């Protein structure tokens, strides 16, 4: 297992205090490879491998820093790691967490015993469908109304088999099929000039994976996310 995270443009000032937390220390001590992608050449870490990367071009209404984040979240091939069957993504505010985001030993044991599982996702706490997410993000003015309207028409071509996910944390199997799916998410965001990946992800994933290949997490324990 490897863990990826990133922050470009110091989004929400999340790297001001660094990215080394108690949780990342625990993961590193267990031999988990941690990779953090950033354009901040001053950022250093004792536990994360810092990978410096330049900003890529934005698209209309979507800034370069946000578009670069989406590239490394979805489209960037994980060539840094080999023979790793699973990659965990966590947003940068989790990277420096002092709380246990998940139980690494239990998670690894669970994944080894689940050969058909492809994705582990967090269910969105407030909404269940992409249509609801599009409506809310437009109302909150964090998604372009024009881009969203065009994407809504395109979204009618998709069968939405999967429940809306909250994508600040997710786990994916490293297969060619998964890489293709993630690449399609990023391509759709670029093509339709979308800022919010949750407006796209589960629609695209529904074309690639059946419901029995996707596990949704619960958030019941004091240790953060629990596999159920």
Q: Based on the domain organization, do 85 and 147 belong to the same domain?
A: no
Q: What is the pTM of this model?
A: 0.92
Mean pLDDT of the chain: 91
Whether 196 and 73 have beta carbons less than 8 Å apart is answered as no
Query: Which range marks the domain in which residue 199 is found?
Result: 123-165+183-209
Residues 111 and 149 in one domain: no
Q: Is 172 domain-assigned? A: no
pLDDT single digits (tens) 58-94: 999 899 999 999 999 999 877 777 788 999 999 998 8
Q: Which residues pair with 214 in a beta bridge?
A: 119
Report residue 228's pLDDT band, with 50, 70 and 90 as the boundaries: very low
Taking alpha carbons only, the member of 125, 153, 151 closest to residue 62 is: 151
Q: Are residues 138 and 114 in the same domain?
A: no
Say how many domains are in the chain: 2
pLDDT in tens, 186-209: 999 999 999 999 999 999 999 999
CB neighbourhood size of 7 (10 A): 24
- Domain membership of residue 203 (yes or no) is yes
**DSSP H or E stretch at residue 121:** strand 119-123
User: Which range is least confidently modeled, 106-110, 138-142, 157-161, 163-167?
Assistant: 106-110
Task: Give the pLDDT band of residue 163 (cuts 50, 70, 90).
Answer: very high
Same domain, 53 and 96: yes
Instruction: Please check whether residue 142 lies inside any domain of the structure.
Output: yes
The answer to whether residues 82 and 128 belong to one domain is no
Tally of CA atoms within 13 A in the half-sphere of 191 that contains its CB:
10
In a domain, 30, yes or no: yes
């Amino acid at each position: 297992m490897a863990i990826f995270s990133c922050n470009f443009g110091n989004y929400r000032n999340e790297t001001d205090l660094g990215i080394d937390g108690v949780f990342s220390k625990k993961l590193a001590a267990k031999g988990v490879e941690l990779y953090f992608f950033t354009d901040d050449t001053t950022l250093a870490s004792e536990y994360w491998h810092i990978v410096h990367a330049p900003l890529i071009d934005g698209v209309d209404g979507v800034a370069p820093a946000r578009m670069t984040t989406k590239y490394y979240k979805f489209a960037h091939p994980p060539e840094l790691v080999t023979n790793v069957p699973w990659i965990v993504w966590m947003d940068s505010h989790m990277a420096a967490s002092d709380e246990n985001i998940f139980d690494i030993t239990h998670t690894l044991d669970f994944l080894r015993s689940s050969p058909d599982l492809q994705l582990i996702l967090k269910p969105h706490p407030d909404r269940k469908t992409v249509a609801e997410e599009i409506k809310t993000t437009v109302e909150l003015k964090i998604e372009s109304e024009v881009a969203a309207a065009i994407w809504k028409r395109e979204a009618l071509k998709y069968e939405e088999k999967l429940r809306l996910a909250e994508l600040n944390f997710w786990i994916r199997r490293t297969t060619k099929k998964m890489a293709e799916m993630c690449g399609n998410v990023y391509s759709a965001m670029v093509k339709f000039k979308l800022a919010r990946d949750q407006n796209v992800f589960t629609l695209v994933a529904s074309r690639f994976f059946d419901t029995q290949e996707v596990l949704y997490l619960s958030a019941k324990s004091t240790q953060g996310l629990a596999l159920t």
